[in-house]
Amino acid sequence: MIQVQKIDTFSGHRDSVYALQPAFTPERFFSAGGDGLVVQWDLTRPDWGEVVAQVPASIYSLSYHDLTGHLWIGQNYEGIQIINPQNKQIVSSINLTNAAIFDIQFFEEKAFLALSDGILLVLDQVHLAVRKHIKASTQSARCIAINAYSREIAVGYSDHSIRIFDTDDFSLKHTLQAHTNSVFTVCYSPDGHFLLSGSRDAHLKIWEVKNHYALHQDIVAHLFAINHIVYSPDQQWIATCSMDKSIKIWEADTFKLKKVIDRARHAGHGTSVNKLLWTPYEQQLVSGSDDKRISVWSIKSS
């Protein structure tokens, strides 16, 4: 039995919230969205929020770099801005592309960027030099997941497919005709055995990594597009969020639905839920929405 309680609502953004990222302590996190603001929040202080950066366009992607403590901001039509959120100083700014940056993921010394022009861009993290342009589709690269065990990177595209690349030589290893619409989110299980994908077609699909990404399960999970998938810190649960305004909690072992969080039952969001962050701070789940708000949820099993 799962018990859900709404802890707090953080408001301050003037447009949709598209990105959530952890910060340097478990109780803190960053958010960004359509208003170009990057805000730092504290789960212990719901009345506090601090703007650490502002850019002149929508932000679809943020990524916090643990080793340096820097925050990478994917600017719409500008490139990457790297800031030190502690002193709010710009560390570096790189005009890489005119395309929107939908995702940023780090692996070892590389940064991978998913771009709206279909390119998967590989950057050297230290020198910020472009190592590779991978143009595998004419449609947007929307999301990235990295499997450290198999040393593979999964990229979801608007052409309905998922492509699996080698993290070392960037060769294309598999192409999955995965969904019937854009793939908005991909996520590897913590043990690396499964790849989970969510799409505009509202299906949650589970793929077996060691079996050449054979389809393990196909679940009609939501009414509308699935925007994001995350695992809980204790790896017991999976959360999905959707354009249908709901968040759903699934059992990680069986992929069985255990709880629906929505407006009627839990005073949830009134519009599309775009992003999730399952924090190590009391395992609280954070959600960002088109309603400009960030909600904080206590998810506990009895």
Could you tell me the two tokens for 76?
A: 């719409």
Specify whether domain 14-226 bears CATH 2.130.10.10.
yes
29-33, 74-78, 113-117, 211-215: least confidently modelled range:
74-78
Query: How many Å apart are CA 62 and CA 73, to the nearest integer?
Result: 5
Tens digits of residue pLDDT in 121-142: 999 998 899 999 999 999 999 9
Residue at 245: amino acid letter: K
Over its C-alpha atoms, the chain yields an Rg (Å, rounded) of 18
Model-level pTM?
0.96
Could you tell me the two tokens for 249?
A: 């909690």
Tell me the domain boundaries of the chain: 14-226
For 263, list phi and psi in degrees, rounded to 5. -70, -40
Tens digits of residue pLDDT in 166-220: 999 999 999 999 999 999 999 999 999 999 999 999 999 999 999 999 999 999 9
pLDDT band at 280 (very low <50, low <70, confident <90, very high): very high
Q: Output the CA–CA distances (angstroms, integers) from residue 85 to 20, 63, 106, in the order listed.
A: 14, 12, 18
Query: How many Å apart are CA 189 and CA 197, to the nearest integer?
Result: 11
248 contacts 238 by C-beta, under 8 angstroms: no
Whose CA is closest to 186, among 103, 118, 252, 129? 103
Tens digits of residue pLDDT in 36-72: 999 999 999 988 999 999 998 999 999 999 999 999 9
- Residue 239 forms beta bridges with which residues? 230, 249
The torsion region of residue 68 among left (phi > 0), alpha (psi -120 to 50) and beta comes to alpha
Average pLDDT, the chain: 95
pLDDT at 172: 97
Query: How many Å apart are CA 107 and CA 190, to the nearest integer?
Result: 15
pLDDT at 76: 67
Stretch 218-242: mean pLDDT, rounded?
97
